[in-house]
Amino acid sequence: MDREKKCEWKRHRVQALWALLSNSYLIGFFQGKIYQGKIKNLCVPGLNCYSCPGALGACPIGAMQAVIGNWNFKFAFYVSGFLMFVGALMGRFVCGWLCPFGLIQDLLHKIPFPKKIGSFRGDKLLRKMKYVILAVFVILLPMFVVDILGQGLPYFCKLICPAGTLEGGMPLVLMNQSMRSALGGLYAWKNLLLVLTIVVSILIYRPFCKYICPLGAIYSVFNPISVFRYKVDQEKCTGCGVCAKVCKMQVNPVKNANSLECIRCGLCKKSCPVHAIGEVKLKDEGVRHQAEKV
């Protein structure tokens, strides 16, 4: 158990450091203003709200919605290329190590509660919902429901995203009088979703990542083929089942070491008593390809 805790806190330190670096425009929190410098044109790999007063970069999901139905094809290709590059390199490692909202959910789940919920009836079906949200709110609505200039709205950010409410909406409203006077039903709806996400995060490990997050949906597709991925040495594996028991995403690494739900947290690797779980090395890939040719 000590090894698991050390692994968790090491990951949390990396998450916290990355969150600080991504949101290091600290003066924005005091002024209630969004950073508008040139760096803001670049995307960060995790779900980090563009409207967060401290954010130096753009959220790739927000950027995709902004340009997917727009004439600015160059930027659209940049966002798509960025997502494919990061996904092909790391897969959902981003979710486990580089997403600020992932860290928030991790810490919320550490709050004591008499009965935590692991898996439940309908869990697997609900996990498919993030792909529906990606298709409908991130791609189809911004692409086809547009204004006279041919620009779509960021529907996921506007109607759903609790990370945007927490990181962007609330700080801006607190520090900006003009925004407070313009609050309405939509802001109340977004805060309701945020409260529900916080409560459920105490009971269920990373519910937003499991069921809602469209960025996780994109990266998950790359999990089986990304450069950084896991492998299980079947000769070492004893089938004890420890790795499956410690996985908070309910993945069994022995059956599928690179499941679409795996966030590469490393708990399975650290908990394995015979060290049968490791990362795929590039040299191993080279050997495999040579063997396939022969």
* Each residue's pLDDT expressed in tens, for the chain with a length of 294 residues: 577 788 889 999 999 999 999 999 999 999 889 999 999 989 999 999 999 999 999 999 999 888 886 655 566 788 889 999 999 999 999 999 999 999 999 999 999 999 999 889 999 999 999 999 999 999 999 888 877 666 778 899 999 999 999 999 999 988 887 777 778 899 999 999 999 999 999 999 999 999 999 999 999 999 999 999 999 999 999 999 999 999 999 999 999 999 999 999 999 999 999 999 999 875 555 434 443 443
Element (H, E) at 232: strand 230-232
Task: Report d(CA 188, CA 191) in Å as an integer.
Answer: 5
Name the phi and psi angles at 278, rounded to 5.
-155, 180
DSSP string, 124-143: HHHTTHHHHHIIIIIIIHHH
Name the phi and psi angles at 251, rounded to 5.
-105, 140
Task: Report d(CA 59, CA 163) in Å as an integer.
Answer: 11
Q: What is the pTM for the complete model shown?
A: 0.91
Q: Are 90 and 226 in contact (CB under 8 A)?
A: yes
Task: Report d(CA 248, CA 265) in Å as an integer.
Answer: 9
